[in-house]
């Protein structure tokens, strides 16, 4: 979820675009699934300008860095990449070739003017709420203007983006992300999201359903709904009745051809009864829930401004598991938050033991400039954070491995997503989001087949096609 990825998503050019000179774009995507979605939508917007994707940065006429500000040294990574791109731009200029550089995403939002000041080679800096203006920003940059567009847009960016279509040259993947909510109003003291993504905004249900239907028509079988705080999504149904994420999931489950639903990332405070009922009632809603708790100490949770305590979280998980017994939990943990004692850390270990996670993400606390956590006293020594993180990750890894091994011998439905490394091998995702390798010569990508789990590796499962 936090690992840097490169996303090269392109769409067919609309009619009339062939008259434009074809340019190539390389998009480097850092961070979360929402950035992956945003990169794809930026690629959609650029397709109308004649841009097609390239998997090689050296071939690109435009390089976009879609950045993430969540982790430590995020900005330094961006400036390091920009330093290398600056040299490429000089070499291209000597050859008389165009080479444009753009910075998008949360680092752009947080440090737009500073990026423009420190790195003159950058042509465009554009925030996550204004990337629908990217084609216009590039036109302005070609006329000699350096564009920094990080104001929160008054218009709905989704209304200005092209409809999702088939990826040029091949069918769209059988899985897709769909952003339904952006921003956060929780103001956890460690988090920059409210400052880089803004306040909570929910897309209208009709807009979401329309995009989902187009994705399914293009071959998508599994949708993952995205939001910085996705279960805070709210809207109105056709009769004007206020509804939440649970109702949205029920509505999407009615789309013909859609086989699976997921959503991420959730906040415990917004996990309401209707959403829990959706997990109980909708078999197509996968039994996997990412529900970050961050810490097990009530004192640290209060300092984090999480506005729940450990007992609240444990009781919530019990309610969810009562509704969907086969559900697997994933979580986020921060070790070494300012003021954390050994007793506070042990409370986190105790909570992990109580819950039992199938997967989790854990990190040492790092100060994010501009957040309240940066000004708190009693910061924990780096070596202490490192030692505590090692202990926590050892426990989380054991729980993950135990969960994977518990599936050996069971039969599951597997959505086949891509070819494997070996001839005849295909790779899919289990209902619990694990990668599964299977020899399936008689099947094709997009099929959902019944398989029997035969082995569990460190990061994936192995299976055989179940007979009958």
CA distance 236 to 398: 43
CA distance 225 to 227: 7
CA distance 311 to 447: 42
pLDDT, position 432: 97
Can you tell me whether residue 464 is helix, strand or coil?
Answer: strand
Is 153 labelled as part of a ligand binding site? no
pLDDT, position 14: 38
Is 184 labelled as part of a ligand binding site? yes
pLDDT, position 131: 84
Is 131 labelled as part of a ligand binding site? no
Q: Would you state the structure tokens that stand for residue 118, as one six-digit string?
A: 């420190």
Note the Cα 164 to chain centre separation in Å.
18
Is 68 labelled as part of a ligand binding site? yes
DSSP codes, 200-257:
-EE--HHHHHHHHHHHHHTT--EEEEE-TTGGG-EEE-TTS-EEEHHHHHHHHTTSTT
Is 188 labelled as part of a ligand binding site? yes
Tens digit of pLDDT for each residue in 209-239? 999 999 999 999 999 999 999 999 999 998 9
Domain segments of the chain: what residues?
A: 5-155, 411-465
Is 106 labelled as part of a ligand binding site? yes
Tens digit of pLDDT for each residue in 294-329? 999 999 999 999 999 999 999 999 999 999 999 999
Domain spanning 411-465: which CATH class is it, in words?
mainly beta
Structural fold of domain 5-155: Rossmann fold (3.40.50)
pLDDT, position 85: 95
Please determine whether the domains at 5-155 and 411-465 fall in the same fold group of CATH. Answer: no
- Which residues in the chain come in under a pLDDT of 70? 1-21, 70-72, 153-155, 160, 162-172, 468
End-to-end alpha carbon distance in the chain = 36
């Amino acid at each position: 979820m936090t690992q840097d990825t490169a996303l090269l998503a392109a769409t067919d050019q609309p009619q009339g675009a062939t008259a434009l000179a074809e340019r190539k774009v390389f998009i480097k995507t850092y961070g979360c699934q929402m950035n992956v979605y945003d990169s794809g939508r930026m690629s959609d917007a650029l397709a109308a300008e004649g841009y097609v994707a390239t998997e090689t940065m050296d071939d690109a006429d435009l390089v976009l860095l879609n950045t993430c500000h969540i982790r430590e040294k995020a900005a330094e990574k961006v400036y390091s990449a920009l330093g290398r791109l600056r040299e490429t731009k000089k070499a291209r200029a000597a050859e008389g070739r165009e080479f444009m550089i753009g910075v998008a995403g949360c680092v752009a939002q947080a440090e737009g003017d500073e990026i423009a000041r420190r790195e003159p080679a950058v042509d465009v800096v554009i925030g996550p709420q204004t990337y629908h203006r990217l084609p216009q920003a590039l036109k302005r940059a070609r006329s000699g203007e350096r564009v920094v567009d990080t104001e929160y847009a008054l218009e709905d960016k989704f209304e200005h983006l092209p409809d999702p279509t088939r990826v040029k040259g091949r069918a769209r993947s059988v899985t897709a992300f769909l952003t339904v909510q952006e921003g956060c109003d929780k103001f956890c003291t460690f988090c920059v999201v409210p400052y880089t993504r803004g306040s909570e905004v929910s897309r209208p249900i009709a807009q979401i359903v329309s995009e989902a239907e187009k994705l399914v028509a293009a071959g998508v079988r599994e949708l993952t709904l995205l939001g910085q705080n996705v279960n805070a999504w709210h809207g109105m149904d056709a009769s004007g009745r206020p509804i939440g994420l649970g109702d949205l999931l029920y509505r999407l489950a009615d789309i013909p051809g859609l086989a699976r639903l997921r959503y991420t990332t959730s906040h415990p405070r917004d996990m309401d009864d209707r959403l829990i009922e959706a997990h109980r009632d909708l078999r197509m809603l996968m039994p996997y829930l990412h529900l970050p708790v961050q810490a097990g100490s009530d004192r640290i949770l209060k300092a984090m401004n999480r506005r729940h305590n450990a007992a609240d979280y444990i009781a919530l998980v019990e309610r969810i598991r009562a509704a969907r017994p086969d559900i697997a939990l994933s979580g986020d943990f921060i070790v070494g938050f300012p003021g954390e004692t050994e007793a506070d850390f042990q409370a986190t270990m105790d909570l992990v033991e109580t819950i039992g996670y199938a997967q989790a993400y854990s990190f040492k606390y790092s100060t994010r400039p501009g957040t309240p956590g940066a000004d708190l006293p009693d910061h924990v020594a780096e070596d202490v954070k490192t030692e505590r993180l090692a202990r926590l990750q050892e426990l989380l890894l054991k729980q993950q491995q135990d969960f994977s091994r518990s599936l050996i011998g069971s039969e599951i439905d597997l959505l086949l997503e891509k070819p494997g490394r070996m001839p005849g091998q295909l790779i899919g995702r289990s209902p619990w989001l694990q990668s599964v390798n299977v020899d399936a010569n008689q099947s094709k990508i997009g099929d959902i087949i019944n398989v029997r789990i035969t082995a569990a590796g460190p990061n994936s499962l192995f299976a055989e096609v179940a007979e009958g």
